[in-house]
């Protein structure tokens, strides 16, 4: 009884701290409150992430209390989202000082991060769709924060339209599930007995709706436009967006994993995500604008994360979402120093040694084969073996084969081993943390893995051939297409635009092309 009382008291205290954070933000909104109050506000919003870290450490199993579900995953996501929000708000104290939307910014960001964290505690599907909708609304308002700027208003309008469509599609999927199973509570609606009430065509229909509702906020092809337009938002907003909101697709799929299992929708998600990986990587390579390079990287990384979900590797997807979020938030917050860092790179990279490159290929092949032979031979393990082998080869090539002399290769080899140990330790820690929430799902057939590899390898080979033949029309067309695809919507400013742009290629060729 005492443990139950303490449990309920602790989690009630967490919700009180979240409410206190929101109240603090609205207090700061009042014009008579001094701007110095923002430092008090930062202190207040630091309490919920500290509390969630403590709860994550002492958490013992999964518990459902009323409309809330408390488990390691929900505490991890709350810690992640609230910590990102805290860091970004602390960064913004001086970064946005003097902006006319300064007070409104802190209110919207606090509300968005708090509601987003609550969404993943919700066991009631009505609360889940409500909180997720408020999160998307808050993100839309943040994108259009500078209303005096027409480009920002247009970006917010485009994002809001796509978010609304995504939210309505998710609402339809949830209504379909609840009407069939008779339960609004997620933990009851997705039990094995209730899932059997769904026919095969119903599962496919629900899964396709969920996929569509996920790929839109994840900026997957062909819905990447809103993320490209959102670069007009202040950099701290982009940091929160790319770190804590865009990668929420893996969480939605994780929560609905019992339905999203052994279905043709998995193959559909594989194909869409694979195309997004190729397109996002291409955008990142052709863009010279630093923030748009990061946008292209996010599109590709979210595609890879959804591939993991489609293969049933939900723990790997959660690890990817968290680590990518921390990494991408860091890159956005240091975007202002990107030009300075670029100018410091005065020494050109040394061509990799052929012998060491071949050695790296052998090491990568050996690691991949060993991983495959020691695994269960499932579809996900087959893909993982390929990715791990390629990653080992690439890391070896960059750290060792391209090293400067023996000392450089010794340092690179040491760093290679350290990174390997860190990866293994992080993976083991996350698996141990999330072991009670791991969903046992049916993986797609091996044909899905073959389709995935064919798309990725064929796209990579085509890109490599095009780069080696930069004077060919194929390269020019692909280059211009990727540039146009990664540019914002100009027709929102000019109804009849005609653009004349000069492109300079690395091979020395330059010419003028019209883009309409």
Nearest to 110 by CA among 172, 26, 191: 26
**Do 315 and 262 belong together in one domain?**
yes
Contact between 317 and 309 (Cβ < 8 Å): yes
pLDDT of residue 20: 93
**Do 234 and 381 belong together in one domain?**
no
**Do 194 and 261 belong together in one domain?**
yes
DSSP result, 366-415: HHHHHHHHHS---HHHHHHHHHHHHHHHHHHIIIIIT-SHHHHHHHHHHH
pLDDT of residue 259: 80
Show the CA angle centred on residue 295, arms to residues 294 and 301, nearest 5°: 85
Name the β-bridge partners of 64: 69
Q: Which has the minimum average pLDDT: 71-75, 81-85, 117-121, 480-484?
A: 480-484
pLDDT of residue 167: 92
pLDDT tier at 197 (50, 70, 90 boundaries)? Answer: confident
pLDDT of residue 171: 92
**Do 285 and 397 belong together in one domain?**
no
Residue 347 to residues 204, 275, 394, Cα–Cα distance (Å):
54, 35, 21
Residue 483 lies in a domain: no
Question: What's the mean pLDDT when you consider all of the chain?
Answer: 77
Higher per-residue pLDDT: 143 or 463: 143
**Do 154 and 302 belong together in one domain?**
yes
Predicted structure pTM score: 0.80
Contact between 516 and 499 (Cβ < 8 Å): yes
Measured distance CA(55)–CA(14) in Å, rounded: 9
Supply the range of the domain harboring residue 249: 2-335
Mean pLDDT of 504-515: 39
**Do 266 and 390 belong together in one domain?**
no
Higher per-residue pLDDT: 437 or 130: 130
pLDDT single digits (tens) 144-167: 887 777 888 888 888 889 999 999
Contact between 113 and 150 (Cβ < 8 Å): no
The H or E element that residue 131 is part of is helix 125-143
Q: 398, 414, 437 — which closes off a domain?
A: 437
Q: 312, 335, 358 — which closes off a domain?
A: 335
Mean pLDDT of 446-451: 69
**Do 121 and 162 belong together in one domain?**
yes
Dihedral over alpha carbons 323, 260, 313, 458 (to 10 degrees): -90
pLDDT of residue 480: 80
Buried b (16+ CB within 10 A) or exposed e, 396-433: bbbbbbbbeeeeebeebeeebeeeeeeeeeeeeebeeb
Measured distance CA(301)–CA(215) in Å, rounded: 13
Residue 235 lies in a domain: yes
pLDDT single digits (tens) 56-100: 887 777 787 778 888 888 888 888 889 888 888 888 888 888 778
pLDDT tier at 282 (50, 70, 90 boundaries)? Answer: confident
Residue 407 has pLDDT above 80, yes or no: no
**Do 277 and 371 belong together in one domain?**
no
Helix locations, 241-376, DSSP H:
249-255, 264-286, 290-310, 314-333, 338-343, 354-374
**Do 291 and 361 belong together in one domain?**
no
Contact between 311 and 383 (Cβ < 8 Å): yes
pLDDT single digits (tens) 349-391: 556 667 777 777 777 777 777 777 766 656 667 677 777 777 7
Q: Which has the minimum average pLDDT: 88-102, 180-194, 212-226, 467-481?
A: 467-481
**Do 323 and 387 belong together in one domain?**
no
The H or E element that residue 512 is part of is strand 510-515
Structurally, how many domains does the chain consist of?
A: 2
Residue 489 has pLDDT above 60, yes or no: yes
What residue has token string 């979900």?
309
pLDDT of residue 461: 75
**Do 353 and 331 belong together in one domain?**
no
Residue 339 has pLDDT above 70, yes or no: no
What residue has token string 């050996």?
366
Residue 2 has pLDDT above 50, yes or no: no
Nearest to 462 by CA among 488, 483, 482, 487: 482
**Do 223 and 326 belong together in one domain?**
yes
DSSP result, 77-120: HHHHHHHHHHHHHHHHHHHTTT-TTHHHHHHHHHHHHHHHHHHT
Nearest to 441 by CA among 207, 247, 284: 207
């Amino acid at each position: 009884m005492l443990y139950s009382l303490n449990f309920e008291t602790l989690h009630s205290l967490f919700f009180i701290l979240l409410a206190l954070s929101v109240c603090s933000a609205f207090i700061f909104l009042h014009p008579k409150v001094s701007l110095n109050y923002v430092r008090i506000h930062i202190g207040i919003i630091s309490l919920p992430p500290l509390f969630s870290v403590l709860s994550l450490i002492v958490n013992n199993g999964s518990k459902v209390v009323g409309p809330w579900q408390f488990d390691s995953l929900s505490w991890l996501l709350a810690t992640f989202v609230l910590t990102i929000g805290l860091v970004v708000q602390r960064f913004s104290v001086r970064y946005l000082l003097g902006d006319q939307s300064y007070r409104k910014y802190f209110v919207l960001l606090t509300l968005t991060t708090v509601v987003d964290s609550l969404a993943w505690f919700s066991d009631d599907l009505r609360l889940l769709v409500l909180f997720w909708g408020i999160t998307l609304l808050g993100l839309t308002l943040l994108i259009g924060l500078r209303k005096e700027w027409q480009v920002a208003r247009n970006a917010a309008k485009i994002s809001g339209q796509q978010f609304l469509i995504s939210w309505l599609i998710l609402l339809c999927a949830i209504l379909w599930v609840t009407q069939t199973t008779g339960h609004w509570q997620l933990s009851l609606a997705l039990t094995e007995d209730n899932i059997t009430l769904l026919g095969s065509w119903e599962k496919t229909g629900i899964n396709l709706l969920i996929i569509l509702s996920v790929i839109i906020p994840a900026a997957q092809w062909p819905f990447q436009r809103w993320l490209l337009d959102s670069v007009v938002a202040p950099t701290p907003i982009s940091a929160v967006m790319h770190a804590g909101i865009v990668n929420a697709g893996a969480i939605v799929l994780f929560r609905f994993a019992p339905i999203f299992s052994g279905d043709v929708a998995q193959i559909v998600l594989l194909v869409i995500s694979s195309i997004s990986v190729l397109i996002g990587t291409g955008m990142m390579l052709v863009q010279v604008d630093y923030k748009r390079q990061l946008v292209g990287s996010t599109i590709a990384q979210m595609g890879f994360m959804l591939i993991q979900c489609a293969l049933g590797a939900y723990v790997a997807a959660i690890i990817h979402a968290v680590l990518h979020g921390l990494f991408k938030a860091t890159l956005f917050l240091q975007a202002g120093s990107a030009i300075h860092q670029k100018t410091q790179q005065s020494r050109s990279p040394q061509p990799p040694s052929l012998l060491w490159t071949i050695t790296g290929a052998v090491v990568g092949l050996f690691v991949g084969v060993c991983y495959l032979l020691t695994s269960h031979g499932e579809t996900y393990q087959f893909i993982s073996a390929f990715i791990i082998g390629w990653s080992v080869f690439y890391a070896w090539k960059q750290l060792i084969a391209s090293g400067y002399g023996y000392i450089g290769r010794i340092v690179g080899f040491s760093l290679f081993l350290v990174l390997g140990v860190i990866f293994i330790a992080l993976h083991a820690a996350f698996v141990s943390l999330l072991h009670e929430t791991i969903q046992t799902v049916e993986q797609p057939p091996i044909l899905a893995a073959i389709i995935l590899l064919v798309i990725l390898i064929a796209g990579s080979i085509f890109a490599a051939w095009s780069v080696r033949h930069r004077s060919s029309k194929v390269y020019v067309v692909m280059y211009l297409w990727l540039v146009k695809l990664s540019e914002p919507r100009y027709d929102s400013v000019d109804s009849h635009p005609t653009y004349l742009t000069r492109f300079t290629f690395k091979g020395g060729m330059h010419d003028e092309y019209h883009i309409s």
